[in-house]
Structure 1
Amino acid sequence: MTIYSLCRSFFHLNRISLVKRIGVSSFSSGSISISSGIEKSSSVSSSQLTVDDKLSQFKERVKSGPNFDRFFYDPDLVKKEININPDEPFIAKRNEPVPYLDDKYLDGGGKKVYIETYGCQMNTNDTQVASKILSEHNYQIIDNIENAEIVFLMTCAIRDGAERKIWSRLNELRRLKSPSLIKQIGVIGCMAERLKTKLIEKNSCVDIVAGPDNYRDLPKLLAINNITRKNAVNVILSFDETYGDVMPVIMVGENEKIQVNNWQQFRYGEAQQAFVSIMRGCNNMCSYCIVPFTRGKERSRPIESILDEIRLLSKAGIKEVTLLGQNVNSYRDKSGESEIFESNSYITAPGFKTIYKPPQGGLTFDFLLDKVAAIDPEMRIRFTSPHPKDFPEQVINVIKKYPNICNTIHLPAQSGDNLILDKMRRGYTKQTYLDLVGKIKQLIPDVALTSDFICGFCDETEEAHQETLDLIEKVAYQFIYVFAYSLREKTHAHYHLKDNVPYDVKTRRVDEVNDLFRRISLKLNQSKKGSQQLVLVEGNSSRSVDDLVGRTDNNLRTIFNNQEIPISGLTGDTKRKPIPGDYVCVEIEDANNQSLFAKPLYITKLVDFYSKLNQ
């Protein structure tokens, strides 16, 4: 018998098995007969069902029935495969995916999982993704490590200091690991992707290692570790994983109530705010950056899945959403029918260049931003982190168009010196960057700009540092994130440049950047005295229960007295105290370089505030 005949017989037998298991007795071109098992469970007789009804029932049975992997499932074979080389960890390979395991092994049995998050907002969003996947496999996500049976560290690898924190934390967790306390420990995220099996070799308490593209396999990795006691590792970077179908918000019940899974863990204070990932990875290959090696190439999430999540968040009462991506404004959805929207396509902004060929076609960030903002006029929209090269006028005009898109733009510069910018492979000069800033300020006069800077990059001279200070002064940033350069393995700088600026020089330059921007932010904040600002209330101030804290459109922390104030639009003497999620119009009375201090005027709606402001 030929191999073809054997395969054909095998699939025929399994087709018969599938038919028996789902309760379908016959197939034909014109009709489908459903077995009596379905008829008995329905109040409608088989004769009353239309062909479409029968087809719909059949599809539902297929969805809930066994998938194709089950016909290959052999528990003894799986255990034998995993236990090859028993002294070595199980490491998933691209051409040998994680073995299929029956659902009973993937069921968490209600085990309590604590996820400790380090790093950027993207890691916070990744924690949501991992939590949702684990909760769907009957793991209980908790927010207190004291009761945890399983602990995951969601890690960052962007700087050496971030990794040192993880090593220190693992040493602490090692002492807590025991059959009666923490039973399994996992390292997930960017540091897992960068170090891979080194995490197991350097710290014996680590059981699970999973990169940013492998959260779907966490139940399998936990099961493999449980079954075999082998360390389980999956750090395969994906070409298409976006977790677009993994949403922290789900619909439940006939009355479309909203359930938010463990939402307390992902809130800023008490306000209803959320992160929504729209893309993953980065193509820029800046010479100092490890992100392309820990998160892979850019992949944009399909636009409809993003809009669906925003709609669900709106129904859940979420008042502020931040769109996330390593290079958020290079978003480009080329899935499905979006290829036809060539008119919405734009290329890299004039004066900027890339070391890769920019993609063409699809739906770009301006189109997405427009659609997102239109969903709920009462929901604030922010986004981070963009790259200056992907800021054509179309994007700026969309921000200007919608009052609920916050007039705060994060515009990472990294340096103000042209030679250093070239060594960093940023794709622009100081003047090109300043021209973009001028265009933004021209179209959005009340915009607040923030930025990232690296001090002490390879070959940075004192003159180059002064160019950076000059750029900061000319732009007048509202806030700056500044770091001393930290050499990362695998990067272009690691292979081709020399980390030759002494550490004490780096830290001194960091201090000088911080001192300058604090003076600038103090001046900017004090200029707002007497103005009226719209504040989204987050909760009680950490300094006093008599005060509330919230943030303005420009993302400025604002503190005001917790007192009864009028509600805009209502007649009479109706008053109440603001609660988290309220928009409050305040008048700024004082300011320092970090906060505004205000008098609350009235509770309002976002749309009403800006309509009144523009009258």
Structure 2
Amino acid sequence: MNSVSIPTMEPDRQYYFMNQCKTLVLEKKAALNRPLTYNIQTFGCQMNSHDSEKLKGIMDEIGYEEVDDEAADFVIFNTCTIRENANQKLYGHLGHVKTLKNKNKDMIVCLCGCMMQEPHVIETLKQKYKFVNIIFGTHNIYKLAELIYSYLETGKQTIEVLDETKQTVEQLPRKRKYTFKSGVNIMYGCNNFCTYCIVPYVRGREQSRKKEEILAEVEALAKQGISEVMLLGQNVNSYGNIYDYKDGKIVEVDEKDRVTFPQLLTEVCKIDGIKRVRFMTSHPKDLSDELIEVMAEEPKICKHLHLPVQSGSTNILTRMNRRYTKEQYLALVDRIRAKMPNISLTTDIIVGFPGETEEDFEDTLDIIRKVKYDQAFTFIYSKRTGTPAATMDNQVPEDVIKERFNRLLTLVNEISNAQIKRFADQVKPVLVEEVNHHDASLVTGRTEENVTVHFPGTADMIGTTVDVKLTDCKGFYFMGERIG
């Protein structure tokens, strides 16, 4: 390969390596007289799912065909490390894959994502999992083709894990789960350092994409037929702390060039073809009155807000470094509901954080009763090595945590079931997402409030928005009938 011919600028450089890989894949397919297959296992959050769409797009581009089975020619694990057991789960998968690789010597095993940003993980992989061929982290997802080419050329284990990124590359092939909706990264990293969370250490510091790049991407998606976009970031409300890289250094953008998240939302809503706009995740400490106003006034913005509270106790919130109090959170909810009375509010809650007393837990139950969440994602606290909380005093006994967790679930389910019933007999626009998995005579879609609805329909309705009367509440979803 003539190194002079390799482009230095992205994304041209990656398209160059995609073409190089495509040639090698064609040769391999001809030698085997069969297609080459790939399988991607995705763990973790919306950001990881979005990254996997990019990985799939690149794999398709270089000539591999996707299959559901781990017994593929190329297996990628896009990892999560938010909890300790996520690491153990991966190691369990790798034990199975090693058996498969023994049967298929040409099988390529690739690991990427958040877990790869931990140095001790890399050392474990080098020592105990030498059959893994390609390893990279969160900051160079876009370089998959280049890393594959490096491995195919050398046959040696290829590892590239960066501490930070100096650029984001979004203009690459993508294979979406849906043809009518898409996620759009507006920022990367996190600056919050909640004491239980490993994300800032593996995703890096916050870096917002430029407004012009985001709007250009959304406009391109609209032209491809995408009608719903979800703007993604670890904390979208802090969007706008934009930094550039000049002469190898991080340079803060002038104040006059900054854009707030509400301003960005307003611009996205102006794009023709986009009918629905969602976003996640919102940190309560940064949710502004400006954002509430824009959400209330802009009909394209879905009236659903995921607003993680984590705990109802100010004492525990302080230990978590959440930087708001119970009273401030409740006041924020009041301001939101004053402008959008029927908004759907969902949340995350952790039970058993170090130092949590029965009184602290009762504060959490109290905030659930007062806010009346449409849905709550509940978690038992588990130590995460590398976070301040893992070494805190007053770890809560396991039996106490489980008893509290059961009480929490009972209350959450009771309130959520009552909340969803407020939509009964209403007619709602529903974006049809798929044919129902259990009954092919039904289709499944979502309202703007993120309520799941099943109703009679056919596959040709997928991607369209239809009016549906919500007739029968089944707890966390509705059965419905199409109107008109």
Fold in common (TM above 0.5): yes
Q: What secondary structure, in the 3-state scheme, does the structure 2 residue paired with 1:221 have?
A: helix
Q: What secondary structure, in the 3-state scheme, does the structure 1 residue paired with 2:226 have?
A: coil
Q: What secondary structure, in the 3-state scheme, does the structure 2 residue paired with 1:543 have?
A: coil
Shift of 1:339: 5.0
Higher relative contact order (CA 8 A, sep 6+): 2
- Relative to 1, partners in 2 of residues 1:244 and 1:304: Cα closer, same or farther, differing over 3 Å? farther
Q: Which residue of 1 aligns with 2:90?
A: 166
Shift of 1:482: 1.0
Assess if the C-alpha contact under 8 Å between 1:283 and 1:297 holds in 2.
yes
Shift of 1:101: 9.6
Shift of 1:584: 1.4
Assess if the C-alpha contact under 8 Å between 2:207 and 2:242 holds in 1.
no
How is 1:430-579 mapped onto 2 (pairs within 5 angstroms)? 430-495=326-391, 497-498=392-393, 500-562=395-457, 579=461
Which of 1 and 2 has greater Rg? Answer: 1
Please tell me the residue identity of whatever aligns with 1:171: G
Assess if the C-alpha contact under 8 Å between 2:446 and 2:453 holds in 1.
yes
| Deviation by residue 1:524-581 (Cα, 9 ceiling, x = unmatched) | 1222222221111112222322222111110001122238xxxxxxxxxxxxx96111
d(CA) in 2 for partners of 1:133 and 1:301?
A: 22
Shift of 1:284: 0.4
Identity %: 34
d(CA) in 2 for partners of 1:211 and 1:147?
A: 23
d(CA) in 2 for partners of 1:290 and 1:126?
A: 19
Q: Are positions 1:291 and 2:207 aligned together?
A: no
Assess if the C-alpha contact under 8 Å between 1:145 and 1:151 holds in 2.
no
Please tell me the residue identity of whatever aligns with 1:321: V
Please tell me the residue identity of whatever aligns with 2:78: M
| Deviation by residue 1:214-265 (Cα, 9 ceiling, x = unmatched) | 22333343344444443222221224333343463xxxxxxxxxxxxx33xx
Shift of 1:102: 12
Shift of 1:363: 1.0
Shift of 1:129: 2.5
Please tell me the residue identity of whatever aligns with 2:25: G
Q: Which residue of 1 aligns with 2:126?
A: 200
- Relative to 1, partners in 2 of residues 1:437 and 1:221: Cα closer, same or farther, differing over 3 Å? same
Assess if the C-alpha contact under 8 Å between 1:526 and 1:590 holds in 2.
no
Length-normalised TM-score, structure 1: 0.69
Q: What secondary structure, in the 3-state scheme, does the structure 2 residue paired with 1:109 have?
A: helix
Length-normalised TM-score, structure 2: 0.87
Assess if the C-alpha contact under 8 Å between 1:537 and 1:580 holds in 2.
yes
Q: 2:48 aligns with which of 123, 130, 138?
A: 123
Shift of 1:181: 5.9
- Relative to 1, partners in 2 of residues 1:105 and 1:546: Cα closer, same or farther, differing over 3 Å? closer
Q: Which residue of 2 aligns with 1:591?
A: 473
Q: Which residue of 2 aligns with 1:395?
A: 291
Structure 2 residues without counterparts, runs of 5 or longer: 10-15, 27-35, 245-251
How is 1:129-208 mapped onto 2 (pairs within 5 angstroms)? 129-135=54-60, 138-145=62-69, 148-178=72-102, 180=104, 183-194=107-118, 195-208=121-134
- Relative to 1, partners in 2 of residues 1:312 and 1:520: Cα closer, same or farther, differing over 3 Å? same
d(CA) in 2 for partners of 1:505 and 1:315?
A: 54
| Cα RMSD for the two superposed structures | 2.8
Q: 1:211 aligns with which of 137, 146, 149?
A: 137
Please tell me the residue identity of whatever aligns with 2:449: N
- Relative to 1, partners in 2 of residues 1:150 and 1:581: Cα closer, same or farther, differing over 3 Å? same
Q: Are positions 1:316 and 2:316 aligned together?
A: no
Structure 1 residues without counterparts, runs of 5 or longer: 1-16, 22-64, 70-99, 249-261, 343-360, 564-576, 603-615
Assess if the C-alpha contact under 8 Å between 1:199 and 1:206 holds in 2.
yes
| Count of residue pairs the alignment pairs up | 459
Q: Are positions 1:366 and 2:262 aligned together?
A: yes
Shift of 1:120: 1.1
Assess if the C-alpha contact under 8 Å between 2:18 and 2:58 holds in 1.
no
d(CA) in 2 for partners of 1:310 and 1:102?
A: 24
Shift of 1:504: 3.0
Please tell me the residue identity of whatever aligns with 2:442: D
Shift of 1:173: 0.7
Please tell me the residue identity of whatever aligns with 1:552: T
d(CA) in 1 for partners of 2:236 and 2:272?
A: 21
Q: Are positions 1:109 and 2:34 aligned together?
A: no
Assess if the C-alpha contact under 8 Å between 1:329 and 1:365 holds in 2.
yes
| Deviation by residue 1:434-456 (Cα, 9 ceiling, x = unmatched) | 01010011111111100111111
Assess if the C-alpha contact under 8 Å between 1:339 and 1:363 holds in 2.
no
